[in-house]
Chain A
Amino acid sequence: MAKLPPKSMPLHSTPAAADGQLNTHTALPKGVMRWVLTTNHKEIGTLYLLFSLSMFFVGGVFALVVRAELFQPGLQLIDPEFFNQMTTMHGLIMVFAAVMPAFTGLANWMIPLQIGAPDMALPRLNNFSFWLLPVAFTLLLSTLLMPGGGPNFGWTFYAPLSTTYAPASTTFFILAIHIAGISSILGAINIIATILNMRAPGMRLMDMPLFVWTWLITAFLLIAVMPVLAGVITMMLMDINFGTNFFNAAGGGDPVLFQHLFWFFGHPEVYIMILPAFGIVSAIIPTFARKPLFGYTSMVYATAAIALLSFLVWAHHMFLVGLPLVAELFFMYSTMLIAVPTGVKVFNWVTTLFRGSISFEPPMLFALAFVVLFTIGGFSGIMLAIAPADFQYHDTYFVVAHFHYVLVPGAIFAIMAGAYYWLPKWTGHYPNERLAQWHFWLSVIGVNLTFFPMHFAGLAGMPRRIPDYALQFADFNMVSSIGAFFFGTSQLLFVIVVVICVRGGKKAPAKAWEGAEDLEWSVPSPAPLHTFERPPKFERSTS
Chain B
Amino acid sequence: METRQQEQEKAVKRTVVRSIAALIGMFAFAFSLIPLYDVFCQVTGLNGKVSKRAQQITHQDVDDSRYITVQFITRGSAGLPWQMDVATNQLRVNPGQVSEISFTFMNHSDQESLGRAVPSVSPSEASQYLRKINCFCFDEQKLKANEKLTLPLVFQVVRELPKDINTITLVYTLYPVDEKEVSIAHGYLGIKGEVI
Q: Is B23 an interface residue (CB 8 A)?
A: yes
In the bound complex, how far is the Cα of B27 from the Cα of A46, in angstroms? 31
Residues of A within 8 A of B (CB): 19, 121-122, 164-165, 185, 188-189, 192-193, 196-198, 223-228, 230-232, 235, 243, 246, 249-252, 254, 256-257, 260-261, 264, 322, 324, 327
Tell me the chain B residues, 146-185 only, with Cβ under 8 Å from chain A.
173, 175-177, 179, 184-185
Known contacts: A224-B22, A252-B118. The answer to whether A230 contacts B175 by CB under 8 A is no
Question: What are the residues of chain A within 8 A of B177 when measuring CB–CB?
Answer: 250-251
* From A198, A230, A250, residue with most partner B Cβ within 10 Å: A250
A19 touches B1 (CB 8 A): yes
Overall SS of chain A's interface: helix
In the bound complex, how far is the Cα of B74 from the Cα of A511, in angstroms? 73
In the bound complex, how far is the Cα of B30 from the Cα of A258, in angstroms? 11
Known contacts: A250-B177, A254-B47. The answer to whether A189 contacts B19 by CB under 8 A is yes
Q: A257 touches which one: B37, B77, B173, B175 (CB < 8 A)?
A: B37
A230 touches B27 (CB 8 A): yes
Question: What are the residues of chain A within 8 A of B16 when measuring CB–CB?
Answer: 121-122, 189, 193
A250 touches B26 (CB 8 A): no
Known contacts: A122-B16, A189-B19, A257-B37. The answer to whether A196 contacts B11 by CB under 8 A is yes
In the bound complex, how far is the Cα of B14 from the Cα of A197, in angstroms? 10
For this complex, 24 residue pairs linking A to B, each with C-beta atoms less than 8 Å apart, are A122-B12, A165-B188, A185-B23, A189-B23, A193-B12, A193-B19, A196-B15, A197-B8, A197-B12, A198-B12, A224-B26, A228-B26, A231-B27, A235-B31, A250-B77, A250-B118, A250-B176, A251-B177, A254-B37, A257-B37, A264-B33, A322-B124, A324-B124, A324-B125
In the assembled complex, the CB of A260 is this many whole angstroms from the nearest CB of chain B, namely 7
Question: What are the residues of chain A within 8 A of B188 when measuring CB–CB?
Answer: 165
In the bound complex, how far is the Cα of B56 from the Cα of A132, in angstroms? 57
Question: What are the residues of chain A within 8 A of B37 when measuring CB–CB?
Answer: 254, 257, 260
In the assembled complex, the CB of B154 is this many whole angstroms from the nearest CB of chain A, namely 22
Question: What are the residues of chain B within 8 A of A322 when measuring CB–CB?
Answer: 47-48, 124
A249 touches B12 (CB 8 A): no
In the bound complex, how far is the Cα of B44 from the Cα of A235, in angstroms? 25
Which of chain A's residues has its CB closest to B125's CB? A324
- Which 9 A-B residue pairings sit nearest by Cβ, starting from the closest? A231-B30, A250-B175, A227-B26, A227-B27, A197-B11, A228-B30, A193-B15, A121-B12, A189-B19
